[in-house]
Amino acid sequence: MKKYLALLLGLCLIAGCKKDLNYNYAFNLNGVAERGDNYSATYHFDTVAGLQEFVANFYIGNISDTNYVQISFSGNHYILPGTYYTGIINPGNTVCSFAYNNFHTYYSNVTGILQVVQIDTVGRSLKGNFQFKAVNNVNNADSVVVSNGSFESVKYQIE
């Protein structure tokens, strides 16, 4: 009986640990771990300008339009797996940017790296990693660092 109880307890612990792996995104914001499933993601085709843009907002805490980390990248072709840097034009004329909105205090990126690992165009989802530093748009002495960012199975809507 003790063996079965230990096995059941072990399975419960494994199942509980597995939940941590099931979040759609995770990152450290100034050293504080954030993770969740509350996000919005869109892929926009601008046929006039010939641009395609992907934007994802990863909400911190409850779903809120005022506290989130944002990833954005655009180019003149469908976004491909690869590594994209802020502040430069990447292959395919792709531009990458990040932002942080803390209850209407806006931070724009200074430096950052986005690695798109996988794109599923049929299931419309992305997987990747990111990190960036952003400064307050009003007070340049105020900054945030987002590190160890990752996202998986982030489904997007096409607009």
pLDDT tens figures, 58-108: 999 777 778 999 999 888 877 789 999 998 877 777 888 999 999 989 999
Burial class from Cβ neighbours inside 10 Å (0-12, 13-18, 19+) for residue 4 reads: exposed
Residue predicted with more confidence, 125 or 63: 125
What Cα–Cα distance (Å) separates residue 6 from each residue in 2, 79, 82?
Answer: 6, 48, 45
Query: What's the chain's average pLDDT?
Result: 84
Residue 24 — pLDDT band, cuts 50, 70, 90? Answer: very high
pLDDT at position 94, please? 84
